[in-house]
Structure 1
Amino acid sequence: MSHAPQRPLRWFVAGDLNGFFGLVVDNLSILGFIAAALIGIFQFPAEVVFTRMFPGTALGVLVGNLIYTWMARRLAVRSGRDDVTAMPLGLDAPTSIGMALLVLGPAFVAFKQQGLDENAAALATWQLGMASLVVMGLLKLLLSFFGDTVTRLVPRAGLLGSIGGAALTLLGFLPLIETLRNPVVGFVTLGLLLYVLVARGRLPVRLPGVLVAFIAGTTLYYGLGLAGLGVPGFALPQATPLTLALPLPSLGFVQGLPATVPYLPLLLPFGVLMIVGGINVSESARAAGDDYRTRDVLLAEAISTLVAGVCGGVAQTTPYIGQPAYKHMGARSGYTLLTGIFIGLGGMLGYVSLMVQWLPVAVLAPIIVYVGLDITVQAFHESPRKHAMAVALGFLPSIAYLLNIKLGNPAWIAPETFAALYAASDAHGLPDLATITTLGNGFIITAMIWTTALVAMIDERPRHAVIALLLAALLTLFGLIHSVDPRGGIYLPWQLQGLRAAIMYQFAGAYAALAVVLALLSLQRPRVR
């Protein structure tokens, strides 16, 4: 039964300022890493990142936070409570960083290798990013009505183990390298973040710990750099001037849709994981006292992702897991309204890009390392203890993909050398590089299937494992997992010849053979307990 509140709801309370600052820093750090990865690692044109990608991405944050603000105020009116806290929404760290490192950056390099000049390659990559967001947004829109079914089909170890492996290798290890390329600045920043976020250490000032770490690292970077005290690669940023860039709807995503096909093994799990995360976050908010309808929470993030994609964005939005923490800060519904407006307008007016450009990579990367470690730990903590081995098994395909990223870099290994190593067999079986590449392609889906199969074995449900393995064999035939195309592309099995066909049939046959073995074992009498 709903009750009207006894006094008008206030738009802002004191705790909203704390919540606003924390949510803004989260979004800025992710935008900063996207820019650092694309511009610093892949030499992507900064103008495209700041004036085309960022405005639409920021618009998604604005739309999502406006919806969540409205939902909070509606719940407050219905419940007669004035202590309802809005769901926090922002850019999802793992998939946003994954988009930069695994989709946009490699695609930009691939487009240039196909003969496009830098500007044309950047435009094609931007359109790919838009299309990727639309694909994930449509998937989330559909799954919003079936979120609970997804979680019933895939065990928690399968979902968390697959993303945990990606978190440890791609969000933990790769940004750690960027952190230590400026050892003094990066290590101090990382140490401070671990001190305040993991050890819960006290600070002498009443400021958020993440802000203190950012200020300390940035001050150290510019102080040592300007003093000439050995900051590798130090240079004052050539900041892009403030310009008005309106994220208007366009059909650019339609042109990018064909280019999304090789990346579907990444994009589809990214969308599914956001739905699962949204379900978990809704439960977390419900436990904290705010009973949001799960479907509404999921629909809001799907709509904001779609709006961002149609308007030029390249990173998807998601409800953050910290709703109870914001509630403890005293935040209500004003902090999401402030954050949405600040980030949304900042993307259009350019001041968000300006702030991002002045934050050094060595200061931004450590927060991503922390995110990777936190997700990795969560994979074990939030899964049943008996499924720990399945979670660990799910980490292995991501290691292969990490090697793919490095070994597939033409600056490290010339394409002709890579092709020779790919086919260089020996007396022990398939070529090493071909095996690593095949294992790494589609690694998130592979990890989900492996962990699902092992969980079924642990739970003494071998027939469920057989179904998972047969699904893996089918997906292998079409390159959705274990693609024998070094770029991870999909194909029809009869299109392949020679070594690639042999590898495909070997991997698919391996899954089928194990499925037969487990099917025969399932015919045994049940174990007497």
Structure 2
Amino acid sequence: MQRYLDLDDLLGLPREFFETFRPSNIRAKNYPLWTLKGDTNAFFALFFDNLATQLNLVGIAVSFGFTPGFVYHHFMGGVGASLLFGNLYYSLQASKVAMRTGKMDTCAQPYGINTPGALGKSFNVLLPAFLAALAAECGGSSASSCSAAALERAMFKGWSAACAANFLGGMIEFAGAFLVTLLFKTVPYGAMLVPIGGVGFTWLGYGPIANIFGSHSAHFPIVGMIPFLIIFLSFFASDQVTGPFPSILVAALVGIVLYGVVDLEGYGNNLLDAKEFVGEGGIQFPDLSYGFSQLSNSASLVAAFAFTNFIGTYACNIQARVGGDVFSPMESMMVDGLGSMIGGLLGSPYGTTVYIGHTTYKKFGATRGYSLLNGVVYFVMGMTGLHGMLNAVLPHEIVLGVLVCIGFTIASQCVEVVPRRWIPAVMIGLAIAWSDYMVVNGADNTFGAGNDIAILGASYVWVAMFWTFALMMLIDRWFVSATVIFLIMAALTSCGVMHSAQISFEYVDGHQVGAPPDTTKTWKLIVTYGAAAGVMLVYALLQKCGYAPAAEEEDFRELQAEKYSSKPAHSAGRSALSSKQRVPELAGDSLNLFDMRRDPVI
């Protein structure tokens, strides 16, 4: 049983949740609530990270035909509530670990909107549901042809479907806590990371770069380009390029100044227009029963993004351990799932997750305050409708550079976590992930190319992951494993999990009902995958007889089992509890708001 499930973590969960809310851990005597330089820098980094994502998502929804007022009034209150829940919990989790281990430099895990998943669901859930509602309410796919009342109903229906998808994704993330140990012992981490890396490459990386050149707000690329260069320098060259000041804050201020120089009147008009949205926040409740009824065409993709989310949470938890802070993996994955479910119930279409970057925030000297303040600020913004004003103060092209850097960081990790020999497989997986971007943005159908891309674009998350996995096994000459993977791909294709937008065994003329029309028949894809499995089996037999090269001796499963083991979390906790380790006293005021010895004034 221990082979397939982390029993130590599972059995320790009740204690973990109980101790998180123990009054002595909440007070966390001598554990700094705020460090001047560390928590300040970490807060601005996390705040602008989330802000860039949220403003981009607002812009995408508006480009679909949603009115800005509807987005601010219906979307952002639920977003704020989910961020408050998660950031509050992770600040308390850090307090618990600090008290347990006596490490007063424990850094809370950063938390926010799951950017790749939110972008993917925007284009594959929110947009199709909204267009379907427009067709039903207005008899067309254009918001301009609708009456105000009909448009309001269509927006409500599309939003409800996206919220239902968010709730469903949260449930899958919660359940993923029980599966992740098995996955990390059977599937290469690089293969699991490829789909989210593909989103990072396209929607987070390439798309925002194009938007910077397009400059749809200021109509002058310099407004987004110079802030992007400053942010890029701070991400990849040196975090000292702006001296003691947070680089993202400096980049934002530079962008505002440049906007004022090139179009002061336009900037002022944006501020005046945004005043009408102030006060448009609050909690709104979606019609989840309707929303769930609309998910038949996107359930596979929702499950896929939830899958990549809990895999990412587990990996971020490992990064935190590398940084010296040991948190329960299952606890973190369950909290992520709960945060998404709470958001879905309260009107957020976007899932939440632990972010990469814990190691960086810990190097800043951050503790728990940055996380708590981030949650409080976004909750207040969501309740009061301040997103519209911030979108005017910081036109989203100014903060697009943050998304670019995050996107390509995620994409580059796909290569960094695999052996050099597997890089070609990863590149092919990332290329498959491009198909979704091309389909959504209207790939040219010359010579049928668009139809070919559509085959890969349908449920591309699963297609990219399984193809990467299969090619990795081919490179290692693990032919039996490759056989099994191709058989799984045939089975998933037959029921619509792969190469289709709808999970179903219904066929018309040999073509699965949810598969893209005018493309290769589904039955032919199934036969092709079956034939590939047969070829791999032949090679396995030849290898067994000594007529094919031997399999790669390095076993990725053993390496991952060691690298991603959660045993340090349990041993650290048991050691601290059994020895009743005394929490060291720190000089300073009773709350240690600013521990100057460890974190000097800027």
Q: Give the TM-score category using the shorter length.
A: 0.7 to 0.9
State the SS of the aligned residue for 1:394: helix
Tell me what 2:495 maps to: 478
When residues 21 and 313 of structure 1 are mapped into structure 2, their CA distance, relative to the original with a 3 A threshold, is same
Q: 1:450 aligns with which of 467, 475, 483?
A: 467
Q: 1:507 aligns with which of 525, 530, 534?
A: 525
In 2, Cα distance between the equivalents of 1:83 and 1:490? 48
Stretch deviating more after TM superposition (151-160 or 198-207): 198-207
When residues 406 and 16 of structure 1 are mapped into structure 2, their CA distance, relative to the original with a 3 A threshold, is closer
**Contact 1:157–1:455 (8 Å) recurs in 2:** no
Tell me what 1:494 maps to: 507
When residues 28 and 85 of structure 1 are mapped into structure 2, their CA distance, relative to the original with a 3 A threshold, is same
State the SS of the aligned residue for 2:298: helix
Q: 2:44 aligns with which of 21, 25, 33?
A: 21
State the SS of the aligned residue for 2:348: coil
Residue 153 of structure 1 and its aligned partner are, at CA, apart by: 2.9
CA RMSD across the alignment: 2.7
Tell me what 1:163 maps to: 196
When residues 344 and 440 of structure 1 are mapped into structure 2, their CA distance, relative to the original with a 3 A threshold, is same
Tell me what 1:197 maps to: 235
Stretch deviating more after TM superposition (74-83 or 63-72): 74-83
State the SS of the aligned residue for 2:112: strand
Tell me what 2:172 maps to: 139
1:53 partnered with 2:88: no
State the Cα deviation string for residues 432-458 of structure 1 (Å, max 9, x = none). 332221221111110001011111112
Residue 65 of structure 1 and its aligned partner are, at CA, apart by: 0.9
1:400 partnered with 2:435: yes
Q: 1:262 aligns with which of 297, 306, 309?
A: 297
Tell me what 2:59 maps to: 36
Residue 161 of structure 1 and its aligned partner are, at CA, apart by: 2.1
For 1:376, give the aligned amino acid.
A
Gaps of 5+ in 2: 1-18, 139-149, 216-220, 512-516, 552-602
In 1, Cα distance between the equivalents of 2:238 and 2:135? 47
TM-score computed with the length of structure 2 as normaliser = 0.77
In 1, Cα distance between the equivalents of 2:228 and 2:159? 31
Aligned length: 500
Matches for 1:202-241 after TM superposition, within 5 Å: 202-203=240-241, 205-226=243-264, 238-239=273-274, 240-241=276-277
Tell me what 2:158 maps to: 125
Stretch deviating more after TM superposition (391-400 or 235-244): 235-244
Stretch deviating more after TM superposition (44-53 or 188-197): 188-197
State the SS of the aligned residue for 2:208: helix
When residues 128 and 469 of structure 1 are mapped into structure 2, their CA distance, relative to the original with a 3 A threshold, is same
Residue 186 of structure 1 and its aligned partner are, at CA, apart by: 2.6
**Contact 2:278–2:386 (8 Å) recurs in 1:** yes
Q: 1:466 aligns with which of 483, 500, 510?
A: 483
In 2, Cα distance between the equivalents of 1:294 and 1:60? 20
**Contact 1:480–1:490 (8 Å) recurs in 2:** yes
Tell me what 1:384 maps to: 419
Stretch deviating more after TM superposition (499-508 or 3-12): 3-12
When residues 204 and 298 of structure 1 are mapped into structure 2, their CA distance, relative to the original with a 3 A threshold, is closer
Residue 54 of structure 1 and its aligned partner are, at CA, apart by: 0.7
TM-score computed with the length of structure 1 as normaliser = 0.87
When residues 452 and 520 of structure 1 are mapped into structure 2, their CA distance, relative to the original with a 3 A threshold, is same
1:242 partnered with 2:278: yes
Residue 460 of structure 1 and its aligned partner are, at CA, apart by: 2.1
Matched residues, percent identical? Answer: 25
In 2, Cα distance between the equivalents of 1:89 and 1:6? 21
State the Cα deviation string for residues 139-174 of structure 1 (Å, max 9, x = none). 011111222212223212211222222322222222
In 1, Cα distance between the equivalents of 2:328 and 2:74? 34
Matches for 1:107-118 after TM superposition, within 5 Å: 107-116=129-138, 117-118=150-151
In 1, Cα distance between the equivalents of 2:35 and 2:270? 41
Residue 29 of structure 1 and its aligned partner are, at CA, apart by: 1.2
1:100 partnered with 2:122: yes
Tell me what 1:358 maps to: 393
Gaps of 5+ in 1: none
Tell me what 1:279 maps to: 314
Residue 218 of structure 1 and its aligned partner are, at CA, apart by: 2.6
In 2, Cα distance between the equivalents of 1:501 and 1:225? 48
1:149 partnered with 2:172: no
When residues 81 and 120 of structure 1 are mapped into structure 2, their CA distance, relative to the original with a 3 A threshold, is same
When residues 211 and 7 of structure 1 are mapped into structure 2, their CA distance, relative to the original with a 3 A threshold, is closer
When residues 237 and 503 of structure 1 are mapped into structure 2, their CA distance, relative to the original with a 3 A threshold, is farther
In 1, Cα distance between the equivalents of 2:85 and 2:326? 21
In 1, Cα distance between the equivalents of 2:99 and 2:243? 37
For 1:511, give the aligned amino acid.
Y
In 2, Cα distance between the equivalents of 1:366 and 1:461? 41
**Contact 2:114–2:353 (8 Å) recurs in 1:** yes
1:292 partnered with 2:327: yes
Residue 302 of structure 1 and its aligned partner are, at CA, apart by: 1.2
State the SS of the aligned residue for 1:312: coil
For 2:356, give the aligned amino acid.
I
